[in-house]
Amino acid sequence: MGRDFAAFFAPFALLLGAGLIAVGVLSVLGVHFLASVWRERIALALGLALIVATEIAFAFSGMSLRFLNGQRADVLQCRQEAETNFPLERHKNSPIINDDIIACMKRNGYEWTSDHWRCGEAPVATNPFCYLPTKGFDRWLTRLQMALE
């Protein structure tokens, strides 16, 4: 999810979530706003879910986390190294630079994968969506960020 979208969406989602939570909490205290108690309980659950989802989207929208943004930076660094190592291959449709970028990413702890739909659109070595970290937690978090992207 983009940073601008999250900044626009977050205040409205937080207000709506807080309102739903207030309806649910007031129901517990005996003040009823909806037709039935179970609807007020659902409002409480939806409010909590909306607040949590907004916080996750807001946290992943910035540059504060290393994972997907770091992966993009690693791809660019590997591309620069490959083009520096093979300057005559830069403007050719040569697999040498692509192979060197993939090897560099492997050395940095990533593996090539074409699971993400954005990789399917452009399965090239410079596409950060075509890589996943090899470490378990990093891989899980990067997949989550890719899904929210």
Domain layout of the chain by residue ranges: 3-61, 67-148
Percent over 70 (pLDDT), the chain:
89
C-alpha angle 134-143-99 in degrees, rounded to nearest 5: 50
Question: What's residue 107's pLDDT?
Answer: 94
Q: Which residues of the chain have pLDDT under 50?
A: 1, 63-64
Could you say which DSSP state residue 109 is in?
A: T
| pLDDT digits 0-9 by tens, 11-39 | 888 889 989 999 888 888 888 888 888 88
pTM of the model: 0.56
C-alpha angle 34-29-41 in degrees, rounded to nearest 5: 45
Which stretches of 1-149 are DSSP H helices?
Answer: 3-28, 37-61, 67-85, 95-107, 117-121, 136-148
Question: What's residue 63's pLDDT?
Answer: 42
